[in-house]
Every structure is written in C-alpha cells, then in structure tokens.
Structure 1
C-alpha cells in the first residue's frame, strides 16, 4: 500500500474504517483478495515474496504496510510484506507485537506498518531508526513517509474520509472508492522532495497512479465493527489503470452487506 487514510475509534459503527491504494510495478505477480488456504487471513497476496500488503484475520485484526520512498536506501533485508502476514498469523496482540517487532525491525526493508486489534492500534517504522507509537482515536493518514506526514494526497484522502463519516452513511463505500480513484496531481509548490525528481514527484502525487509499468494495482476499503465483524472490498487495476475486477468478502458472524 502506498496511500492510506483510516479512522480509528471515531466512527459510531466502525471501530476501524480504512481506505487505501496499493501502488506497485505491474509485473510483480499478485493474487486477488481472497481467504487464504494456509492461514486465517483474508487479503491479497504477493506471489513473489509470499506476504500481503493489507489483510484482516479472526477477531477483527488488521494490518497494512507501505514502503518508504528514498532512492538512496539500498532496500536490503527481509520482505516487508511478511510483516503483515506474520502479524495476522500470530497470536500476539498489537501492543505485544509492537514491543517484539522493535527488536527485529532493522532486519527488514524500509517499512511503515499499521497494526490493529480489538483494543489497540500501533504505527511502526524502521527508518531512520526503529520506532513504535500507539495510534490515538481520530482520522490519520500514511503514505511513503512517516506517520501523518502531510503530503497533499494524504491530506486530501483524510479529508474525504472525514466527510464520509460526517455524512452519516455507514454502508455505502462508493464515495471512498471515488476518493481513491482521484487522479488530480498536486501543484509543484506542494510537492515533497524525496529525491526522485520533479517529474516523478508529480506522477506520484495523485491518489490513483496510472502508468504502463507502475501504478495503482488495488484500491481497498476495510470496515471492522466493535465485535470484530466487518467487510473488506478490493478493486483491481492493470497497466494504465485498466479495471481488472473487484471482490467483496465479509468476516465475522454478524457482518452486514454494503452497497
């Protein structure tokens, strides 16, 4: 995932409400959102390294990972996608997992990680140094920089998520998918300087990235209520933003259909 906005403990129905885009090279093999046969995970799957970028598990656990944009970093270490699947497979709660991961975080490629369970949420990162912080109730954002770094597309997605919450509709997620499909680029004066050059900063500044080799591969919405029940919906895209289908899966005993 390369763009995420989420509401934690700030919606009357959903304990966690998350909307995010996964941006990746189109040549990297991936499996669509599904229930895994070999683990109690519902999510997409990276077929190259075996992990996931976003998934949910029993009890309403959720985990999502992004990379850190820094062309100077050698990108050495274990696959960051394994961080998400390992958390979802494991038994440690979010707080205990955060404490454990801090001891090994430096062994992974540059990452930002969000973990959620029935009681707590954590942000973890390993650049420039391993760190963890509890997530407070409210609307937050994450892209390929530090937690809540105010990149234009992150701010905009957070605002649109807050607008959806304020509108009071808790089942029609279409406006969130519309926000994730926004292709407007930020003005040059608002672009970050992450070392990739102005032309690429422009390309990467939109929520939805349309490209032949690299771009938005999946848009996903997750909603989990306070009983650990919910829904995860994914829309998939190929080169140049070609639509490749969608999947919606419910989990938990009392989940409700969405529009």
Structure 2
C-alpha cells in the first residue's frame, strides 16, 4: 500500500474502518484479491515477488504493508516486504516480534499495520518496534505512522468528514481524490520535486506508475467484516473488483 487511512475504535457500530490505496508500476504483474490456499488469506498477489500488500484472514484480522520512501537506501538482505502481511496473520505476536528483531534489516524500509477490531498494532524497521495503535483516526503513507504528508492530512480530513457513517462506496470516492499537493507542501525524500508532486495525490494517475487498487475493510459490532478491492488501469478506470463478507460463524467453520 501507499496510503492507509484507519478509524480504530472511533466509529459507533464500526470498530474498524480501513481505506487504502496501492500505488505501483503498471508493468508489475499482479493477481487480483482472492482466497489463497496456503496460507488461507484473502489477498491480492504480487507475482514478481510472491507476497501481498494487504491481507485478511477468515476471522477478519488484517495486515497491510507500505514502503518507507528512501530512494538512496538499499536493503542489506533480499527479503520481500510482501511476506510481512502473511507473517502478521499466521505467526503469534511473540514470533512476529522475534522475526522483526532478527530479520528487520533484511527488508527495504517498511511500515507494517496489523490486527483486528479492538487491537491494532504498528511496526517499522525505521526505528519503531511493534506497538499498539491508540484508538482514533490514523494515516500512513511512505513515512512513519501519522507523518503529516499532504495525502495523509487530506485523507484524514476527508475521512473525518465522512464519519460516523462509513460505507464502501463513500470511502472509494474519498480515495479517488487526484489533486496534487502544492510545491510548498511536498516532503523531501530524495526524489526530484517533479516526482514528489506526481506521487502526492491520494489517487495517482500516470502511464508508468499509479494507483492500481483501492481496498476497503469495514468491521461491524457483531463481528462481521466487509472487504472490497477495486482495481484500476493506467488511466484510472475501474477494471474489476472483489467483494467479500466475512462472518464470525464462517470463520469458526
């Protein structure tokens, strides 16, 4: 992912609301969100490295990863960040923490969000060990959690204005904002000013690189979870979607 907006225990009747965009090169091969055989998760697949950017377990637990933007840095090992959401959903908290301590430097810079309604956690291999996320509204892009990049600040403003009633269509519309940031608002991450501005909208449209998918997760008070992935081409046109409704009974079965 490149933008994750999160309402954690902030909406009556909806203990968890997630709205996220995945930005990627259009040439990178990807399989749409589907149920994997092993591990048993609902996720899209990055066919180049084999992992994913956002995954949901049958019981509604989720995990998402974003890159930490640092163009000059290279990982000391060869591990794919796409394996992290899978580990977050299949390992115990203790084993996941041990893995991040032992192998964190083998990944390029990452942010990892994972959890379920009532218990969300965050970690980054850029100085943030696993820790709980406080209830409230949060935003994550390609820096640390709640860093006020323009797309994060704008997204949180729009999310707050859309509450207390959140639904998949309104959240997809929120994430479709294509307005670039003003030059004076742009972060300095080592890219050229032109690229910083090109990457600054919540929804990116360009021939080479752009928003490939929007993912929505809504959890209700009864334990049900609705998941939507909507996919886009290089011109920002919707080319398909996947919807799933998960229930506590189905997860136990």
Q: 1:135 aligns with which of 133, 136, 154?
A: 133
The Cα shift of 1:61 comes to: 1.0
Once superposed, which parts of structure 1, at least 4 consecutive aligned residues long, lie more than 4 Å away?
none
User: What RMSD in Å do the two structures reach over aligned CA positions?
Assistant: 1.9
Which residue number corresponds to residue 164 of structure 1?
162
Distance 2:25 2:100 in 1: 27
The Cα shift of 1:63 comes to: 0.3
CA contact (8 A) 1:160 1:176 kept: no
What are the residue-to-residue correspondences of 1:169-180 with 2, within 5 Å? 169-170=165-166, 172-180=167-175
Do residues 196 (structure 1) and 191 (structure 2) align?
A: yes
Give deviations 1:52-111, integer Å, cap 9, x for gaps.
Answer: 1001103221000000111111245310010011222x1414x76345523322222210
Higher alpha-carbon deviation: 97-106 or 143-152: 97-106
Distance 1:12 1:70 in 2: 38
Distance 1:56 1:50 in 2: 16
DSSP 3-state at the match of 2:11? coil
With over 3 angstroms needed to count, the CA separation of the structure-2 counterparts of 1:228 and 1:48, relative to structure 1, is farther
Distance 1:40 1:229 in 2: 18
Which residue number corresponds to residue 149 of structure 2?
151
CA contact (8 A) 1:46 1:52 kept: yes
Distance 1:15 1:211 in 2: 35
CA contact (8 A) 1:98 1:122 kept: no
Distance 2:84 2:52 in 1: 8
Higher alpha-carbon deviation: 152-161 or 110-119: 110-119
Do residues 103 (structure 1) and 98 (structure 2) align?
A: no
Give deviations 1:174-222, integer Å, cap 9, x for gaps.
Answer: 2211111110011111111111011011101100100111110001111
Which residue number corresponds to residue 120 of structure 2?
121
Which residue number corresponds to residue 207 of structure 1?
202
Which residue number corresponds to residue 25 of structure 2?
25
CA contact (8 A) 1:18 1:221 kept: yes
With over 3 angstroms needed to count, the CA separation of the structure-2 counterparts of 1:184 and 1:133, relative to structure 1, is same
Distance 1:153 1:26 in 2: 21
CA contact (8 A) 2:8 2:118 kept: no
Do residues 229 (structure 1) and 239 (structure 2) align?
A: no
Which residue number corresponds to residue 84 of structure 2?
83
